[in-house]
Structure 1
Amino acid sequence: MGYINTRECLDALEERGELVRIDTPVDAFIEAGAIQRRVFRAGGPALLFTKVKGCRFPMAANIYGTRERMRFIFRDTIATVQRLMKLKLNPMEALKKPWQYLGAPRTAWHTMPRTVETGPVMECEAALSALPGLVSWPMDGGAYVTLPQVYTESPDNPGFAGSNLGMYRVQLSGGEFLPEREVGLHYQIHRGIGHHHAQAIARSEPLRVNVFVGGPPAMTLAAVMPLPEGLAEVFFAGAMAGHRIPMVRHEGGLPIPAQADFCLCGRIMPGEQKPEGPFGDHLGYYSLTHDFPVMRVDRVYHRPDAVWPFTTVGRPPQEDTVFGEFIHELTAELVPSVFSGVHEVHAVDAAGVHPLLLAVGSERYVPYAEDRQPQELLTNAMALLGNTQTSLSKYVLIAAREDLAPGMSCHDIPAFLDHLLRRVDLARDLHFITRTTMDTLDYSGISLNQGSKLVLAAAGKVKRSLAAELPADLDLPRGFRDARVFAPGIMVLKGPAHRRKRDQQDPALDALGEALSQVRGIEGFPLIVVADDAAFTARDWDNFLWVAFTRSDPATDIYGAGAFTHAKHWGAKLAVIIDARLKTYHAPPLEPDPEVERRVDALGGPGGPLHGII
């Protein structure tokens, strides 16, 4: 059976040697988050801050900081849940190997929450100001809940079956929010809570919202799980927890997990919005201040021994990376059942997840063709852009499974890009979708929530050799320099500072494309990336992926050597150029506070609680 609450989980981790208590007073303002990130990068243990300055509640971090720890926490149920997912793929398996699925009915029973009259979470109340004021980055606009479980029910169809549980960030303080009465609720485009909010607005009613913090670890996992439309996250939580989640049916309000550490109960009033942000986000930049819904807080409940779990996000990898890897482990075999013809997907964490999606699909439409071209692959790519969280992808790079070497996976990024760049027809195989919806956190587009997408599909024979040395007569226009080979077929070079306005292309990049089209051998570099710092960008794959795909909008920032437009189709005869410079309108990258980093260094020194860990 899975852990029923946070304390039980932390006790088990401590007994296993996977938790360290920090009894030194720690500030929730910047310091606690900096410690968590440093310990995560070191592959270190979970942390329990027992003395938080100015706060009576302890804080816990890095609980899910390694895949091994994640598997340990869910060790009792992970195999059964995976079998249940396989059963969805092939129901006949249960008849062929019934002994493997004996636990399935019991797991199905666990999915249904259990209604109880009360629980530990209802025993105490607190003011909003009493909660830990976690500020993760220096420019954050206030304190945030960073592991929230935001629960709503459909106003048109109330109850667990019509519920949504999501991890939408909650701003506890700062800005224009009324102290002790209001918090900001930032939910991104294409989130389940949006459907409930729309229903409430149509009914001219407030939308009731409960924000849970802590409790069964399975509830935290469920809040980030990309489940199919219509499948309530609380049901998945029960399966992952290995027991029915006890929920208190609060009179006149939404249910509350009996074992949660905290619960903020409130309402979003129709038409009420206030500025939320800035917030240091998981793409590695600040998301800036924008109007989002306001939640009026009616009550804050907490259990007597409450612990405040938290994480921080920033440039990947971070603790949320582990969630993504674990979710992939659970769902990889379900991909073909959700996306017909798609065999594998990889939302690239180093590129911020949504900016870059790699995929393997089938290309069977014209199997008799002497040289196949992407056709079914385009159907596959459009399916990916039309369903679930993959619809937020900005770049979709998809290759035909029929062409892959045995054992090749799109999770092997260098090998996959090498395969794709050898086969893509740059004049034919780039397909743009312009002025469409995009990830709320991505500032590379033409406005908030709006930008473009690119599908780059490759199938058929090898079309070029990839160069490993710069062309001998490479002559760059003024302002461009420091060209270097990053990988076979990929060149990185430094460009002048960007000075254009949003939604404008840069004539300097057109001039670069024209100049490169005259260089002999440039066809050996089908991908050229222009950056502010070529050395940093070309240092490793993490840097390259982060710079190239988080700092560019396909329609605005792609140029070409031998570029042309024909019947509204854009292509390049020789090479594609991505302008990955920081733009005048981009949000600033996250930078740590040097003084706080020095304090963290001291904690890792001899005699410090983190000695030998960081």
Structure 2
Amino acid sequence: MGYVNLGQLIADLEAHGELIRIDVPVDARLQAGAIQRRVFRAGGPAVLFTNVSGCVFPMVANLYGTMDRMRFIFRDTLQTVERLMRLKLDPMTAVRRFWEYAGAPRAAWNTMPKKLRTGPVMENECSVSDLPELVSWPMDGGGYVTLPQVYSENPVSPGFGASNLGMYRVQLTGDSYETDREVGLHYQIHRGIGPHHAEAIRRKEPLRVNVFVGGPPAMTLAAVMPLPEGLPEVFFAGAMAGHRIGFVTGDGRLPILAEADFCLSGTIAPDLQKPEGPFGDHLGYYSLAHDFPVLRVDKVYHRTGAVWPFTTVGRPPQEDTMFGQFIHEMTAELVPSVFAGVHEVHAVDAAGVHPLLLAVGSERYVPYAAERQPQELITNALSLLGNTQTSLSKYVLICAREDSPMISAHDVPGFFDNLLRRIDLTRDFHFITRTTIDTLDYSGISLNQGSKVVVSVAGPHKRQLGTEIPADFDLPEGFSDAQVFAPGILVVGSRAHDRGRDEHDPALERLGERLSHVKGLEEFPLIVVADDAGFTSADWDNFLWVAFTRSDPATDLYGVGAFSHCKHWGARTSVIMDARLKTYHAPPLEPVPDVERFVDGLGASGGPLHGII
């Protein structure tokens, strides 16, 4: 059976050599987060901080820091849940191979939450200011909960059946909030709590919310699981836990996770927002301060022996990368059933997840045509942009499996090679402008608003890809240091961006004009302009991060031989992507040298991290 609470998980990980203790004093401001990031990068164990400066509660990090540990944590239930998911693809499988599904009735029973009169989390109360004040990056606006499970119910139909459990950022301290009375609740667009909050606003009443921290690891996984609308996350948590999840109910309260380590209970007022942030985010930059809802805290509960789990976010890969990979393993086979004609998708973690989605689809609309061209692929891509978390994607690059049966969206270099050899630059770009984008993406024209582009590619090779800079390649003033990053991809350095938001840069248009006479440039269909060509070209992780987190398709794509015809845009020779940091972008995250030296000391001979980092 799965873990009932966090304490069981910690004890079991320690017994199996998957957790270490750090008993020396560690500050939750900057030091704890820096340690977690370094241990994660080293593929190290979970870390229990027993001596948190100025706080009575221990903290634990990196619980989910490796795929092996993720599989170990859910080893008792993972196969059963995967089999249940496969039933969506082929319901008759359970009839033909009934012995593999003998546990299905029990798993279904476990999805139903158990109602309790009380639970360990109700044993003690404290104040918000008693909780660990985790600050991961120097410009963070205050202490944050980074592994929260935010629970709400639909005011129209309360109960588990219409509930939502999400991992939304919770700011505990900061200048905006009344000490011990208010915390910030940052939820992004396309999140399940949104309809609950909208209904409460319509009814002019507060929305009750509980924030759980700790408890069964299945609840943490459920909070980040992209489930279909109408399937409550708490049901999935029970299946992953291998037992019914207990909630304290009654007395008119919103259900409280009985085995949680902490619970903040309160209400969101229908007409109150305050500045939340800045905060280091998973794109590798700071998300700046913006108005978000405020949770008025009524109670803070905690169990005896409570431990505060946390992670830190930053430029990927980070610990949250493991959640994405684990979820992909569980759900990859379901993609064709959710998106007809799509065989594989890959939200690229190195590019910040939402900025870049690679997909492999089918192109079968006109099988008798002399030459295959994108038609069904465009339908597939629009489906991806209209459903689930893939709707937040900014660049959707989709290729036809018929052209290359072995193509994989997870082989990024191979995918780009296939796409660039076949792309028709005059035909294959399809823009959506003035639309909704990820809240954390500052490349657009305003908060939550920017553009998207579908690049759909099918048919025979259109070109060979260049591996050497053309002999007469000549750059105008302000551009320099051209480098071949990969076959068909050039990276060019440039002076800093100096334009305003929602503006084209005439310098990039002049670059396109200058390059229009370069012979052999057609072998380089993609040219990326960056602040630092050497850094961008160093490896695929750098290239993907710079190119797709720092550009907005409609604003930042230019061309050699660019044209617009009947509102369709294309380029005759090459596409130029302006991937410089813009004047309006949020700053990138930078480590603190003094803090890094402190972590180095823990890794020195005799230190608790010696041999790990």
Q: Give TM-score, length-normalised by structure 1.
A: 0.99
Give structure 1 stretches of 5+ with no counterpart: none
Alignment of 1:285 with 2:279, yes or no, is no
Cα distance change, pair 23–250 in 1 and its aligned pair in 2 (3 A): farther
Instruction: Tell me, in whole angstroms, the C-alpha distance in 2 between the residues paired with 1:89 and 1:164.
Output: 25
Moved over 2 A (4+): none
Unpaired runs of 5+ residues, structure 2, are none
Shift of the alpha carbon at 1:250?
A: 4.9
Listed as ranges, the matches of 1:234-245 within 5 Å are 234-245=234-245
SS of equivalent to 1:109: helix
8 Å CA contact 1:444, 1:550 repeated in 2: yes
Q: In the alignment, what sits opposite 1:391?
A: 391
Determine the C-alpha separation between the residues in 1 that align with 2:292 and 2:115: 32
C-alpha displacement at 1:405, in angstroms? 4.0
> 1:176 deviation in Å?
1.1
| Structure 2 match to 1:442 | 441
Bigger shift: residues 243-252 or 576-585: 243-252
After superposition, the C-alpha distances for 1:430-474 in whole angstroms (9 at most, x for unaligned) are 000001000000000000000000100100111111001000110
Which residue number in structure 1 is paired with residue 11 of structure 2? Answer: 11
Aligned length: 613
Task: Tell me the amino acid that sits aligned with residue 445 of structure 1.
Answer: G
Question: Which residue of structure 2 lines up, in the alignment, with residue 583 of structure 1?
Answer: 582
User: In structure 2, what is the equivalent of residue 368 of structure 1?
Assistant: 368
- Aligned residue for 1:356? 356
The secondary structure found in structure 2 opposite 1:403 is coil
Q: State the one-letter code of the partner of 1:458.
A: V
* Alpha-carbon distance in 2 for matches of 1:17, 1:120: 27
| Contact 1:175 1:276 (C-alpha < 8 Å) held by counterparts | no
1:343 alignment partner, SS class: strand
Distance of 2:156 and 2:89 partners within structure 1: 31
Q: Contact between 1:250 and 1:256, CA under 8 Å: does it hold in 2?
A: no
**Partner in structure 1 of residue 455 of structure 2:** 456
Matched residues in 1 for 2:216 and 2:151: separation? 15
Matches within 5 A, 1:210-609: 210-406=210-406, 408-609=407-608
Is 1:162 aligned to 2:170, yes or no?
A: no
SS in 1 for 2:402: helix
3-state SS, counterpart of residue 402 of structure 1: coil
* Equivalence map 1:104-143=2 (5 Å): 104-143=104-143
- Name the CA distance, whole Å, in 1 between partners of 2:135 and 2:253: 30
Distance in 2 (alpha carbons) for counterparts of 1:251 and 1:542: 52
CA distance in structure 1 between the partners assigned to 2:369 and 2:271 by the alignment: 57
Q: Distance in 2 between matches of 1:324 and 1:279?
A: 21
Shift of 1:404: 1.4
Q: Which amino acid aligns with 2:515?
A: L
1:64 match: secondary structure: coil
Q: Which amino acid aligns with 2:24?
A: T
Please say if residues 134 and 143 of structure 1, whose CA atoms lie closer than 8 Å, have aligned partners that are also in contact: yes
Work out the CA distance in 2 between the residues paired with 1:252 and 1:40.
42
User: Match for 1:297: what amino acid?
Assistant: V
Q: State the TM-score, normalizing by the size of structure 2.
A: 1.00
SS of residue paired to 1:220: helix
Distance 2:467 2:234 in 1: 52
Amino acid at match of 2:419: L
Does structure 2 conserve the Cα–Cα contact (< 8 Å) formed by 1:527 and 1:576?
yes
After superposition, what is the alpha-carbon deviation per residue over 1:345-391, rounded to whole angstroms, capped at 9, x for unaligned? 00000000000000011100000111111000000000000001000
In the alignment, is the contact (CA less than 8 A) between 1:563 and 1:573 conserved in 2?
yes
Query: 1:482 is paired with a residue of what secondary structure?
Result: strand
Cα displacement string for residues 3-52 of structure 1 (whole angstroms, at most 9, x for unaligned residues): 00001001000000000000001000000000000000000000000000
Whole-angstrom CA distance in 1 between matches of 2:198 and 2:166: 16
Tell me how far apart the structure 1 counterparts of residues 375 and 405 of structure 2 sit (CA, whole Å): 20
Which amino acid is 1:115 matched to? K
C-alpha displacement of 1:175: 2.4
* Counterpart residue number, 1:65: 65
CA offsets, 1:405-435, max 9 Å, x none?
Answer: 43x2110000011001111100000000001
How far off is 1:89 after superposition?
Answer: 1.2
Instruction: Tell me the amino acid that sits aligned with residue 226 of structure 2.
Output: P
Task: Report the equivalent of 1:176.
Answer: 176
Number of the residue aligned with 2:23? 23
Percent identical pairs in the alignment equals 75
Q: Which amino acid aligns with 1:205?
A: E
Per the alignment, in what secondary structure is the counterpart of residue 426 of structure 1? coil
* CA distance in 2 between partners of 1:433 and 1:302 (Å): 47
